[in-house]
Amino acid sequence: MALTFYWYPKCGTCRKAKKWFEDHSIPVNEIHIVDNPPTREQLEEFYKKSGLELKKFFNTSGQKYRSLGLKDKIKTASDDELLDLLASDGMLVKRPIVTDGDKVTVGFKEEEFKETWL
């Protein structure tokens, strides 16, 4: 079964992840994270299945994150508020997000990809 790969084609990290999947002959269903961002419900599911803190789902190096002043907001916001924020704009979401329906990875770390997707 192909993995679902939420990505932004102009993102260097996303391109590295895509190349990693190609190099390992792993098929992925590509979804442009800005044109078709995950829904709030999907983000909540990814969060629960990933085992990560919700703040790890934010693209902290993005312009949108900085312009909204989220650095301080995410420290005190509830999970519901954070999920609403993430669902409001695909550019706020750290990428790529990869899932097979059971497992979820956020961002690209080669070792984590080897452990999770090989």
pLDDT of 5 > 70? The answer is yes
Radius of gyration of the chain, Cα coordinates, nearest whole angstrom: 14
Q: How far apart are CA 92 and CA 94, in angstroms?
A: 7
What pLDDT sits at residue 22? 97
Question: Residues 59-88: pLDDT tens digits?
Answer: 999 999 999 999 999 999 999 999 999 999
Question: Strand 3-7 relative to strand 97-99: parallel, antiparallel, unpaired?
Answer: antiparallel
For residues 42-50, give the mean pLDDT: 97
User: Is 3-117 a CATH 3.40.30.10 domain?
Assistant: yes
Overall pTM > 0.85: yes
What pLDDT sits at residue 1? 65
Delimit the domains of the chain by residue range: 3-117
